[in-house]
Amino acid sequence: MFIRDTILSRLKRGCQTIHYPRQAPPPLPDRHGGALRLESSKCPNECSLCAQVCPSKAISQANGTAPVLDLGKCLFCAECVKACPSQAILRTGDYRMATRQRKDLLLSSPGKEELRLAASLEGKMLKMFGRSLKLRQVSAGGCGACEADINVLGTIGWDLSRFGIRYVASPRHADGLLVTGPVSKNMDLALKKTYAAVSEPKIVIAVGVCAISGGPFASHSQVNRGVDTVIPVDLYIPGCPPHPLTILDGFLRLLNRLEKQV
């Protein structure tokens, strides 16, 4: 009786996993806001209100020039959006933010107002990892928020393993590292040793603003300014923390697993 009721209950519930990427994903919650867009043509050059209110110094502005917005430093608090009198900085609600190069997270002059999204691995790397990728997750001084959203991808609603991606317990069983946190000084050597234990070829993914730039801790003497100051990085996924959809989108772009560019 119990087994029958359990089976019937499962059948009634149907598939609980989101249909992304075969279908467009659900919208991000309002409080998240997604990627920011900088429309520098609207920006009055004498104004620096956005830079003044930014808690992580993600916005810089030289005299007489338009601001530069660094999404690799951005906490996505939206204080700049509220402060801008000309609405030159906007929240787009777009979950797609992962890039292959650090410089692609800089939004500045006209023509560079939106992100250059991550391209896939090429050649041998894509052939090796495109269908199966094992990652060792390293929390290098993180607060736990990025780690929590990484773990969400393993739940029934996301089912990361359906893409051939899974987390492993040892770097010697891994194809690469998934790193969170600003890399505190006491994790510096540990991260280097973990990286060395992964066999070649290997990839490194930096998740969250702390892993990309040090985030709000960047000026502290006991942290590094991100993962790429210690080991090379192949994929940057910004956010504080990034939404699970942003993380998943970054993974799939890297592995060329998006059936269509949604």
For residue 230, the domain's CATH number is: 3.40.50.12280
Give 127's contacts (C-beta < 8 A, 6+ positions apart).
none
E strand spans, the chain: 36-38, 59-60, 68-70, 89-91, 106-107, 133-139, 165-167, 176-180, 203-207, 235-237
Inform me whether the pLDDT recorded for 246 exceeds 60: yes
Percent of the chain at pLDDT > 70 equals 92
Q: Is residue 59 part of a domain?
A: no
Q: Is residue 235 part of a domain?
A: yes
Inform me whether the pLDDT recorded for 12 exceeds 80: no
pTM over 0.85: yes
Q: Is residue 90 part of a domain?
A: no
pLDDT of residue 146: 96
pLDDT of residue 111: 54
Inform me whether the pLDDT recorded for 196 exceeds 60: yes
Burial code of 175-204, b = ≥16 C-beta within 10 A, e = fewer? bbbbbbbbbbeebbeebeebbeebeeebbb
pLDDT of residue 259: 66
pLDDT of residue 217: 86
| Max CA separation in the chain (angstroms) | 76
Token representation of residue 61: 């502005």
Q: Is residue 191 part of a domain?
A: yes
**Residues 181-188, mean pLDDT to the nearest whole number:** 94
How far apart CA 101 and CA 83 sit, in angstroms, is 29
Q: Is residue 158 part of a domain?
A: yes
**Residues 103-122, mean pLDDT to the nearest whole number:** 82
Domains in the chain, number: 1
What end-to-end distance do the CA atoms of the chain give, in Å? 44
Token representation of residue 133: 């990728």
Burial code of 242-260, b = ≥16 C-beta within 10 A, e = fewer? bbbbbbbbbbbbbbebeee
**Residues 66-92, mean pLDDT to the nearest whole number:** 91
Q: Is residue 78 part of a domain?
A: no
Q: Is residue 212 part of a domain?
A: yes
Q: What is the domain range of residue 209?
A: 123-254
- Higher local confidence (pLDDT), 216 or 246: 246
| 137 φ/ψ sector (left φ>0, alpha ψ -120 to 50, else beta) | beta
Confidence of residue 159 (pLDDT cuts 50, 70, 90): very high
**For 212, how many CA atoms within 13 A lie in the half-sphere containing its CB?**
31
Q: Which residue's structure tokens are 């959203």?
A: 149
**Residues 70-83, mean pLDDT to the nearest whole number:** 93
Inform me whether the pLDDT recorded for 182 exceeds 70: yes
Q: Is residue 72 part of a domain?
A: no
pLDDT of residue 13: 66
Mean per-residue pLDDT of the chain:
89
pLDDT of residue 110: 57
Inform me whether the pLDDT recorded for 261 exceeds 50: no
How far apart CA 37 and CA 35 sit, in angstroms, is 7
**Residues 81-106, mean pLDDT to the nearest whole number:** 92
Residue 120 phi/psi, 5° resolution? -80, 165
